[in-house]
């Protein structure tokens, strides 16, 4: 099944025009070698080898930054499959759209040296025509973000007449409507983080002034939010339930926390987790009763009308 990705073509889309003319997407991340025989099936195997190399070349950077750089490089070089759809901002409010049509290609000493060929469509998408949720997802910080959950909307913007239907192939999701709602709430939480209860004690993880803690990629899927305590001693994994079965989401956040502990945390840092959902139930209470480092928060949605 094809996936959909937002790909940044250089900082602030500086290489967008060249990529459009040359029919390619690409990345750099200061990894100056041919990766043709260095792209394993699993993202974690690539990171295990290249993260120490990247950190050696960037001794002033953190493990989080290294994981982000290597993960995005692998995604562009290997994770994105032929036939997948990419949306690339041109820096002027529009998105080029195209099909990925090649495997990994290496162009040393050129811009975005780690490349994939793309067949661009004649139709582009204006940012103003997107829903607010899609605007937020395509405007997220980072080189790569998967936006497959908006496949129906993207196809409609490209001219398809297919209606938008809330469906999912994830067997752990019990309620697609709640899944969609909580995806929007993730964007709201990030945008209003500093005014939330969590914002009093934690900051969403940043690297060089850029927010990288939303949808931070791990080897078992993206973390909704990765944050760090204001004293820098605790890494926090925040996961919205997103309509999933309660026992499933507990296992999910534990996997993410295990990844953060093993791969990202410095020796003096510990790892905690928070699950946010509309309501709890007996299964989530039972699961969390034997877990000391995961807290549960409920959210509340309010809607008011005021006569003008």
Of the candidates 157, 184, 200, which is a domain's last residue? 157
Q: What is the DSSP string of 150-185?
A: GHHHHHHHTT--PPP------TTBS-HHHHHHHHHH
The answer to whether residue 162 sits within a structural domain is no
The answer to whether residue 171 sits within a structural domain is no
Of the candidates 103, 130, 157, which is a domain's last residue? 157
Counted domains in the chain: 2
Instruction: DSSP letter for 79, please.
Output: I
CATH number of domain containing 194: 3.40.1350.10
Same domain, 138 and 195: no
| Structural tokens at position 271 | 């790892």
What is the pLDDT at residue 285?
83
Task: Please name the residue ranges forming H helices in the chain.
Answer: 16-22, 43-57, 63-74, 132-138, 151-157, 176-191, 246-259, 282-289
What is the pLDDT at residue 303?
61
Mean pLDDT by 10 residues, the chain (308 residues): 92 93 95 96 92 94 92 95 94 93 95 96 91 85 86 84 43 54 75 89 88 85 92 94 72 93 93 87 83 86 66
The answer to whether residue 306 sits within a structural domain is no
**261 burial level (CB within 10 Å; 0-12, 13-18, 19+):** middle
What is the pLDDT at residue 162?
38
Nearest CA to 88 out of 4, 9, 2 is that of 9
Same domain, 143 and 229: no
Compute the distance between CA of residue 98 and CA of residue 101 in angstroms, rounded to an integer. 9
Nearest CA to 242 out of 275, 286, 199, 203 is that of 275
The answer to whether residue 167 sits within a structural domain is no
Same domain, 197 and 252: yes
Same domain, 192 and 133: no
| Structural tokens at position 214 | 């939303």
What is the pLDDT at residue 75?
95
What is the pLDDT at residue 166?
40
Domain of residue 192 covers 176-298
Same domain, 186 and 273: yes
Same domain, 61 and 196: no
Nearest CA to 238 out of 208, 261, 215 is that of 215
Q: What is the DSSP string of 194-224?
A: GGSSGGGTEEE-EETTEE--EEEEEBTEEEE
Same domain, 150 and 18: yes
């Amino acid at each position: 099944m094809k996936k959909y990705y937002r790909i940044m073509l250089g900082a602030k889309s500086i290489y967008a025009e060249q990529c459009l003319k040359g029919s390619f997407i690409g990345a750099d991340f200061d990894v100056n070698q041919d990766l043709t025989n260095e792209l394993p099936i699993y993202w974690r195997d690539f990171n295990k080898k290249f993260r120490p190399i990247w950190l050696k070349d960037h001794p002033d950077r953190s493990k989080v930054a290294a994981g982000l750089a290597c993960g995005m490089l692998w995604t562009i070089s290997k994770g994105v499959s032929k036939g997948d759809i990419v949306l690339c901002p041109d820096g002027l409010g529009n998105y080029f759209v195209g099909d990925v049509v090649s495997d990994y290609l290496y162009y040393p000493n050129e811009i975005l040296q780690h490349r994939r060929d793309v067949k661009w469509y004649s139709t582009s998408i204006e940012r103003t025509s997107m829903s607010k949720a899609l605007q937020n997802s395509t405007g997220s910080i980072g080189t790569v973000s998967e936006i497959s959950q908006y496949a129906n909307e993207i196809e409609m913007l490209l001219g398809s007449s297919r209606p938008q239907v809330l469906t999912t192939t994830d067997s752990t999701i019990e309620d697609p409507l709640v899944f969609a709602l909580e995806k929007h709430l993730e964007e709201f939480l990030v945008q209003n983080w500093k005014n939330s209860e969590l914002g009093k004690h934690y900051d969403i993880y940043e690297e060089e002034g850029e927010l990288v803690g939303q949808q931070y990629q791990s080897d078992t899927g993206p973390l909704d939010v990765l944050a760090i305590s204001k004293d820098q001693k605790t890494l926090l994994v925040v996961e919205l339930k997103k309509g999933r079965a309660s026992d499933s989401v507990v296992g999910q956040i534990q996997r993410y926390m295990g990844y953060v502990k093993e791969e990202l945390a410095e020796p003096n840092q510990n790892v905690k987790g928070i699950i946010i959902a509309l309501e709890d139930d007996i299964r989530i209470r039972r699961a969390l009763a034997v877990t000391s480092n995961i807290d549960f928060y409920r959210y509340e949605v309010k809607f008011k009308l005021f006569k003008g």
